[in-house]
C-alpha cells in the first residue's frame, strides 16, 4: 500500500444517458433510459432522473417501462459514445502513461509514474482539474476517487457520484470501510453476499472479525484469503496500462425464438464473421472456437473446438462453429447465439488458409443478413429466407429503419433525432446540442428528404453543452 492517495479512479456519470441528454436539449433534466427496446431488451444506462423511479442498469426493459412509463427510451449509439470515450481517455493519458481502462467510461490512473501527484494536496488538484477538463472538452461530468490502492479509489469514486470527488486519506481506510456493506468489496456479488448474510456477516467489519480461517471455510481458499485482505484494506494491485486479451466473442439475443435450423446456421455464420472482424481489428488470431447457445427454456450450452494452430480466417471459424452446432439440439427454439475465439496469438497458422479455401469451395459459405431487430444493449440483424431475399431485405431495412434516439437530417429542417417510428411514420425532434429544445415533426418513413446523420459534437469552441447532471461538489 502507498502512503499517498496517488491512484485515481474515474467513472463517468450515467455515461450513455448523460451523453444523450447533452446532445438533446429537450431531454436535459428528464428521465432517459438507454438500451434494447425489444421485448427482451435490457437497460444499458439510466439517467439519474430515471433512477429515482427505481430503473437500474441490466434491468429488463419491460420492467423499466413499468417503473418509468414517461421516460425517454433510446437505442444506444456506441460509435458516438466511443468517440467521447476517446476524448476522456486522451485527458487521462496527459496525466500519466499508466492508464488502465475498464470500459468506455471508467479507468484507473497511476499519478505517481510521471510525478503528476505525490501527496494529498497535489492529488486533489489533479482530480479537480481533471473533472473541469472533462466538462470543458465533452460537456459531461465524471466522478473521481483518489486513494492509495485501486480498490479504495474505486470505492471512493462510487461515493463521489454524481459529479464529485472523494479522497481517502491513507491510514483512515479501515475506519471508513468498517460500517460499509460487504457488497462494496470487489468480487462480492449477490450470491456471495447472500451466503455471507446467512452466516451473519453483513458489513466489512463483520468480515474482519470473522477471521481468515472462517472466510476460507465459507468461501474457499482463494476467495476467502482475498476477501479477508480486502476487509483489512490490503490491495497492492498495480495499475496496468495494457491488459492481455484472453478471448474475443460476439453474441445476439433475439426478440423471437429461432426455430428454423437453417436460419440458426445462417446466424452462426454471421456471428463467426463478426467475431473474426473483431479479431482482425485487434491484430489477433486464435486456436479455440467456442459456440454458445441459449435455448427457449433458458438452458445454456457451450461447445468448443481447438484447431491445429491460430487463425483469423472467417471460413475456418465459420466451419468450426457449424461443426459445433451439429452437436447441439435446438428443438424448441433458440433465444441467444454466440461465437467466440480464445487461445489468442498475434500470428496465424499458414496451412489453415488452405483449409479455409477448401471449406468455402465445398460449402459456398453463405452469410446471412436480414431484417433489423433490437436486443439487449445493441442492434443486430437476423437472417431470414434464402441468401438473395435476405440481401434485399438488408438493403430495404437499412434504408428505412429509424432507431429511437439516432441522428437524422432533413433537407428543409436540418439536424434532429428520432423520437419514435411505426405505422409507416417517423417522428423527429429538430434540435442540436447548442440549441434550445426543438420542434417535433412527423414524416413518412420513406421521405426522401430525411436521411440518417452523424452525431454532432457536444461542445463547440470549448463551450458548454452540459448533460443536465447535478453537481455534488468535492467531498473528502
Torsion of CA 263, 265, 266, 268, to 10 degrees: 130
d(CA 166, CA 11): 12
Q: What angle do CA 280, 283, 287 make, to 5 degrees?
A: 75
Estimate the crossing angle of helix 261-281 against helix 314-326, to 10 degrees: 140
Work out whether strand 407-410 and strand 450-452 pair parallel, antiparallel, or are unpaired: antiparallel
Instruction: Please indicate whether residue 106 is annotated as part of the active site.
Output: yes
| Candidates 20, 49, 100, 106; catalytic one | 106
d(CA 315, CA 48): 46
d(CA 286, CA 292): 17
Nearest alpha carbon to residue 113 among 18, 242, 238, 227: 238
Tell me the three cell numbers of residue 199.
452466516
Q: What angle do CA 394, 396, 399 make, to 5 degrees?
A: 105
Q: What angle do CA 465, 471, 476 make, to 5 degrees?
A: 140
Nearest alpha carbon to residue 27 among 464, 402, 418, 468: 468
User: Which residues are the active-site residues?
Assistant: 106
Amino acid at each position: 500500500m502507498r502512503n499517498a492517495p496517488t491512484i485515481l479512479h474515474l467513472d463517468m456519470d450515467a455515461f450513455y444517458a448523460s451523453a444523450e441528454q447533452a446532445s438533446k436539449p429537450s431531454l436535459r433534466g428528464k428521465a432517459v433510459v438507454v438500451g434494447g427496446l425489444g421485448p427482451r431488451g435490457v437497460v444499458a444506462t439510466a439517467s439519474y432522473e430515471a433512477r429515482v423511479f427505481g430503473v437500474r442498469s441490466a434491468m429488463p426493459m419491460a420492467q423499466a417501462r413499468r417503473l418509468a412509463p414517461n421516460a425517454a427510451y433510446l437505442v444506444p449509439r456506441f460509435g458516438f459514445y466511443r468517440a467521447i470515450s476517446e476524448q476522456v481517455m486522451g485527458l487521462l493519458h496527459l496525466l500519466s502513461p499508466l492508464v488502465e481502462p475498464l470500459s468506455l467510461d471508467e479507468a484507473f490512473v497511476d499519478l505517481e509514474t510521471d510525478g503528476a501527484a505525490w501527496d494529498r494536496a497535489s492529488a486533489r488538484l489533479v482530480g479537480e482539474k481533471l473533472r473541469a477538463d472533462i466538462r470543458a472538452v465533452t460537456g459531461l461530468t465524471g466522478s473521481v476517487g483518489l486513494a492509495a490502492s485501486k480498490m479504495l479509489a474505486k470505492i471512493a469514486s462510487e461515493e463521489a457520484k454524481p459529479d464529485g470527488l472523494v479522497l481517502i486519506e491513507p491510514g483512515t481506510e479501515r475506519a471508513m470501510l468498517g460500517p460499509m456493506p460487504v457488497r462494496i468489496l470487489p468480487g462480492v456479488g449477490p450470491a456471495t453476499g447472500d451466503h455471507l448474510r446467512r452466516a451473519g456477516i453483513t458489513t466489512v467489519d463483520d468480515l474482519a472479525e470473522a477471521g481468515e480461517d472462517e472466510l476460507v471455510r465459507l468461501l474457499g481458499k482463494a476467495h476467502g484469503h482475498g476477501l479477508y485482505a480486502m476487509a483489512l484494506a490490503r490491495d497492492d494491485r498495480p495499475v496496468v496500462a495494457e491488459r492481455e486479451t484472453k478471448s474475443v466473442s460476439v453474441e445476439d439475443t433475439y426478440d423471437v425464438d429461432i426455430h428454423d435450423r437453417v436460419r440458426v446456421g445462417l446466424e452462426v455464420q454471421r456471428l463467426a464473421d463478426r467475431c473474426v472482424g473483431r479479431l482482425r481489428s485487434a491484430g489477433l488470431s486464435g486456436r479455440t472456437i467456442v459456440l454458445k447457445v441459449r435455448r427457449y427454456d433458458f438452458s445454456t450450452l457451450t461447445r468448443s473446438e481447438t484447431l491445429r494452430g491460430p487463425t483469423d480466417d472467417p471460413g475456418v471459424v465459420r466451419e468450426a462453429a457449424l461443426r459445433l452446432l451439429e452437436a447441439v439440439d435446438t428443438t424448441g427454439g433458440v433465444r441467444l447465439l454466440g461465437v467466440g475465439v480464445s487461445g489468442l496469438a498475434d500470428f496465424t497458422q499458414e496451412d489453415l488458409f488452405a483449409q479455409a479455401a477448401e471449406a468455402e469451395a465445398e460449402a459456398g459459405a453463405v452469410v446471412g443478413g436480414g431484417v433489423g431487430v433490437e436486443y439487449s444493449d445493441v442492434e443486430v440483424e437476423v437472417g431470414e429466407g434464402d441468401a438473395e431475399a435476405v440481401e434485399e431485405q438488408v438493403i430495404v431495412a437499412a434504408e428505412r429503419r429509424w432507431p429511437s434516439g439516432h441522428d437524422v437530417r432533413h433537407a428543409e429542417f436540418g439536424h434532429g433525432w428520432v423520437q419514435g417510428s411505426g405505422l409507416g411514420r417517423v417522428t423527429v425532434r429538430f434540435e442540436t446540442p447548442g440549441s434550445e429544445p426543438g420542434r417535433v415533426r412527423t414524416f413518412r418513413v420513406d421521405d426522401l428528404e430525411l436521411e440518417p446523420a452523424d452525431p454532432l459534437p457536444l461542445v463547440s469552441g470549448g463551450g458548454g453543452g452540459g448533460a443536465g447532471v447535478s453537481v455534488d461538489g468535492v467531498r473528502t
